[in-house]
Amino acid sequence: MNRPIRYLAVACLVMFVALLANINYVQFVQADSLNDKNGNKRVINEEFSRDRGAILVGDEPVAESVPSKDEFRFQRKYTDGRLYAPVTGYFSYIFGRGGLENSQNRVLSGSDNRLFVNRVVDLISNKKPKGGSVETTLNPLAQKVAASGLEALGEDTKGAVVAIDPSTGAILAMVSQPSYNPNVLASHDFSEVEDDWRRLTGDEDQPMLNRGTQQILPPGSTFKLVTAAAALENLDLDPDDMVKAGRTLSFPGISYELTNLDNGTCGGNRITFEKALMVSCNVSFGDLAGKVGQDDMTAQARKFGFGTDALSGLAANPSRFTAEGTDLEAPQLAQSGIGQFEVATTPLQMAMVAGAIANGGDVMRPHIVKTLRAPNLRVLDETEPERLSQAMSSSNAAQLTSMMVKTVNSGTATSARIPGIDVGGKTGTAQSTADRPPYAWFVSVAPADDPKVAVAVVVESSSTARSEIAGGRLSGPIARSVMEAVLGK
Amino acid sequence: MSSQPAWVPRKRRGAEFFLTILAVAIGITAYCAVGLGTKGTIPAGVAKLAAALIVFAVVAHLVVRRVAPYADPVLLPLVICLNGLGLAMIYRLDLGRTQLDPDRAQFANSQLIWTVIGIVAFAVVLFVVRDHRRLQALTYTFGFAAIVLLMMPLLPFIGRTINGARIWINLGPFSFQPGEAAKICLAIFFAGYLVVKRDALALAGRRIAGIDLPRGRDLGPILAGWLVSVGILVFQRDLGSSLLFFGLFVVMLYVATERPGWLVVGGLLFAGGAWFGYLAFSHVQVRFEAWLDPFADPDRNGQIINGLFGLAHGGILGRGWGQGSPQLTPFSFSDFIAASMGEELGLTGLMAILLIYGLIVERGLRIALTCRDAFGKLLAAGLAFSFALQVFVVVGGVTRLIPLTGLTTPFMAQGGSSVVMNWAIIALLLRISDQTRRPAPEISTFDSDEETQVVKLT
């Protein structure tokens, strides 16, 4: 009977080796991903009682841990919580983390591998570990100006403002309204936290949605910049070339006709390409989109960053030219060319479009984290500007930039004019369903020759009467004040 | 026949004593570390625990020295070490769980009492069973006892259902899992039965694809064993015991007959039973789905997820005694004590504990290999393998290697019946080992025999 017993011994060995291998897998290989799971109370307990690092805007902390007298020892405190909530996110015992609190958790909590030496030193000197800090790219003044601009439109206005530095991709302002107060979610009074969470998640207006990066809406006429770029690149068009205009664009065999805003004529049946952008002529751009064709339009949009989520650190949704797999009919392609039908973008994406045009066609990767620092302020990581793609040739980009400047100087986007500075811009008013007001868009970039800031503003709905809504009137002044804030005017 | 110098195995009782003291020291140190980790002071009850552990460990050692002097010297220290670690962890979980809710039941004291009872049972087995071969005479008595023990939880009044499994009985203030005792009885019964029947089961049969398959009419016993296991699954809802008993039976059948065909038949029957269980019982499906993807339903699979979180939080070196949060896991003191160990002692500590289990199994199988009689061989192999299988099933379940089934972690998990019966198993293994290593009785040889030798052998 010894032979089977020997085999049995081998079988037992296999079982124990399997157990040992498996715990190595769970406790070593899988450990980090398990520790990162939301709802892991052990990690939350530990992190809650840790001196968590700060999230900085400029030199000022907008999220920091201050000592508290209860069992957790520290309380997360947000200065201007509502203003920065779309970026900082929240840090809740029950509901986990959001925003940078979530994506930069390793550094903030001090568990990042780059802080290993600090941890060892803390361990040896018997100190509690401290978290590192996250410095954002935000410009506090631009952020405040953007928020007060949206607030001025009324309490129940929904909208977002995103400003970026076109030459680096750094996000300078990211405001979403309505917002929420992360201080309440970080409270150690858990019943209060639960009530607030239920209220926030049940709210139809979705205050916890970051409208700057997560919500895609039809961009309306601001999308004509993409169509214009595609026309310049593919149709060998010059700003002075004549394009089709007039009251309507009709399609053979179909009764539908594409019209202009307020049934205008754009100033003639043939106008210059430049004029078409300045007056935001639907007929011209519908026609141009048809000439470029769906494939090249899609490709152009993709070059600007549509279809990808290039932003790391914050939840973001990719923008789209068409829904997955849609084959556009001629009228639909024309509608798409003016930012309707299935076109839907985030404000961040539209700021990237405007910025890339003024930046010689180079799309820079957007980023929100400037530097990560250890508790002793040693720099752990610094985000380097990175070119995402070349959306158009620099000569075409220069032509389109000057067309945008003319649109601001004497076209539909005059509300963004800043004395002494060349500003390029484009308005947009996108139709949604009949029972809700249209989306008022505005994108702009300044200075046009050496871009420092590109802004996209969208106002989703407002108490302002429906007829008054036009991108230029509602969103333009906000974009201008943000640009002025960044440029120090 | 040349006279060989008789090989006399060393008793090595001194080594056993030294290792025993080491094991006790580990347990007491762990207990102190719990106090230091949670409150910053050495717990007040340490004197009581230290005294009890030292006295009973030394008593156990002296009993072995007295009645089983040739027994394996490593087994006793190994189980004392596990038992001590288990006591420290249960004490630590008592502290943690009362912090969550002051009304939670406390287990450390009762576990200490059960440990003492277990060591007493260990001594009793060694004293009463002076020769394990005597047990063979009681083969069918043990078989009957096993069936009675298995049926007891199903009886009205004394049977109790806890967490969906009807495997408990009430004995006055105590509840008891008779399945633990049934395991030993079954091992003795299988060993006794198979020693007698092995030839019939081994010789007849036909060969298909290189494997000797048994005859149809010889399938009776294995089918009976299978039916009993399925019965346990159906009537007691106890997946773990069902698997354990069937595994024990199939493996002993294989060892007795030396025919891998039985493993094939057993494997097929097990697959069939498992498939039936999966289809018939929602709790089996729940366990299986929780194994495949626990995070698909975090509320329902909270226990296994919590166990995994604990293991991950422990990481390589662990949080340290009293410094993790194992109390967050439901049943952290019994079914999930391995996860609690992994959290506080880390990967390193849990690997050490698994190695201790592995060593116990290895010593058990070594005893089976060197044992001279078939009954002892089978019994030792069966006990050692069932021990290995039990550790594999429960630790594998907790660490999500296999679907979770309820079995106790030997010597560590809270629960009186488990501790007492495992001590009894170790006593049986020591008894067989003592028999094996004991020098053969002196047989006086007569020189005159040489002259009467008819056939020269060498």
Of B311, B368, B392, the CB nearest to A26: B311
Query: Contact B335/B405 with Cβ under 8 angstroms?
Result: no
Domain ranges of chain B: 13-439
Higher-confidence residue of A112 and B443: namely A112
> What's the pLDDT score for residue A4?
92
- Dist. CA B67–CA B414, nearest whole Å: 30
pLDDT in tens, B239-285: 788 888 889 988 998 998 888 888 888 889 888 888 888 888 888 88
pLDDT of residue B2: 47
Residue B163 pLDDT > 80: no
Q: Tell if the CB–CB gap between B315 and A34 is shorter than 8 Å.
A: no
Minimal CA separation from B257 to chain A, in Å: 8
What chain A residue is nearest to B259 in terms of C-alpha separation? Answer: A4
Q: What is the mean pLDDT of residues B431-455?
A: 70
**Main-chain dihedrals φ then ψ at residue A458, nearest 5 degrees:** -130, 135
Q: What would the two tokens of residue A165 be?
A: 């530095």
Residue A293, pLDDT above cutoff 70: yes
A72 vs chain B: nearest CA distance in angstroms? 14
Q: What is the DSSP string of A322-339?
A: S-TT----HHHHHHHHTT
Burial of A18 (0-12, 13-18, 19+ CB in 10 A): middle
Using an 8 Å CB-CB cutoff, list chain B residues near A30.
308, 312
Reduce the secondary structure of chain B to three states and give it as a string.
CCCCCCCCCCCCHHHHHHHHHHHHHHHHHHHHHHHHHHCCCCCCCHHHHHHHHHHHHHHHHHHHHHHCCCCCCCHHHHHHHHHHHHHHHHHHHHHHHHHHCCCCCCCHHHHHHHHHHHHHHHHHHHHHCCCHHHHHHHHHHHHHHHHHHHHHHHCCCCEEEECCEEEEEEECCEEECHHHHHHHHHHHHHHHHHHHHHHHHHHCCEEECCEEECCHHHHHHHHHHHHHHHHHHHHHCCHHHHHHHHHHHHHHHHHHHCCCHHHHHHHHHHHHHHHHHHHHCHHHHHHHHHHHCHHHCCCCCHHHHHHHHHHHHHCCCCCCCCCCCHHHCCCCCCCCHHHHHHHHHHHHHHHHHHHHHHHHHHHHHHHHHHCCCHHHHHHHHHHHHHHHHHHHHHHHHHCCCCCCCCCCCCCCCCCHHHHHHHHHHHHHHHHHHHHHHCCCCCCCCCCHHHHHCCCCCC
Q: What is the mean pLDDT of chain A?
A: 88
- Section A459-487 average pLDDT: 77
Is the pLDDT confidence value at B8 over 70?
A: no
What is the interface pTM, i.e. ipTM, of the complex? 0.91
Return all residues near B279 (Cβ < 8 A) that are at least 6 apart.
Answer: none
What span, in angstroms and rounded, lies between the C-alpha atoms of B236 and B107? Answer: 25
Tens of pLDDT, residue by residue over A105-121, are 888 988 788 887 777 77
Residues of chain A found within 8 Å of residue B328, distances taken between Cβ atoms: 41-42
Pair B404, A51: CB distance under 8 Å: no
For residue B391, is pLDDT > 50?
Answer: yes
Rounded-to-integer distance, Cα A469 and Cα A410, Å: 20
Please give the CATH topology (third level) of the domain spanning A220-368+384-487.
Beta-lactamase (3.40.710)
Distance from CA of B300 to the nearest CA of A (A): 14
Please determine, for residue B349, whether its predicted confidence score (pLDDT) is greater than 90: yes
- The CB density around residue A148, as the number of other CB atoms within 10 Å, is 13
Instruction: Sort residue B258 into left (φ over 0), alpha (ψ -120 to 50) or beta.
Output: left
**What is the per-residue pLDDT across B10-20, written as a single tens digit (0 to 9) for each?**
888 999 999 99
What's the pLDDT at B205? 66
Average pLDDT score over residue span A353-359: 94
Cβ neighbours of B400 in A, within 8 Å? 22, 26
- Burial code of A236-251, b = ≥16 C-beta within 10 A, e = fewer? ebebeeebbbbeebeb
Return the minimum-mean-pLDDT range out of A156-165, A317-326, A439-448, B172-181.
Answer: B172-181
Q: Which of residues 316-345 of B touch A (CB under 8 A)?
A: 316, 324-325, 328, 342-343
Q: Give the tens place of pLDDT for each residue, B86-122.
A: 999 999 999 888 877 788 878 888 899 999 999 999 9
Residue B53 contacts residue B24 (beta carbons within 8 Å): yes
Q: What per-residue confidence (pLDDT) applies to A20?
A: 96
For residue B360, pLDDT beyond 90:
yes
Q: What is the mean pLDDT of chain B?
A: 85
pLDDT at B1: 43
pLDDT > 80? residue B204: no
Question: What residues in A contact B258, CB-CB < 8 Å?
Answer: 1, 3-4
Query: Cβ contact (<8 Å) for B316 and A28?
Result: yes
Q: Which of A1, A9, A46 sits opposite B377 (nearest CB)?
A: A1
pLDDT (0 to 100) of residue B281: 83
Q: How far apart are CA B451 and CA B206, in angstroms?
A: 49
pLDDT tens string A243-257: 988 888 888 888 888
Chain B (387-406) residues lying within 8 Å, Cβ to Cβ, of chain A: 388-389, 391-392, 395-396, 399-401
Nearest to A34 among B309, B357, B369 (CB): B309
**In chain B, what's the furthest Cα-to-Cα distance?**
85
Cα–Cα distance between B11 and A155 in angstroms, integer?
89
Residues of A in contact with B313 (CB under 8 A): 31, 34-35, 40, 42-43, 46
Residue of A nearest to B401 (CA): A22
**Across residues A456-481, what is the average pLDDT?**
75
Which of A107-116, A135-144, A272-281, A307-316 tops mean pLDDT?
A135-144
At residue A173 the predicted structure's pLDDT band, cuts being 50, 70 and 90, is very high
| Straight-line distance from the first to the last Cα atom of chain B, in angstroms, rounded to the nearest whole number | 6
The answer, as to whether pTM is greater than 0.90, is no
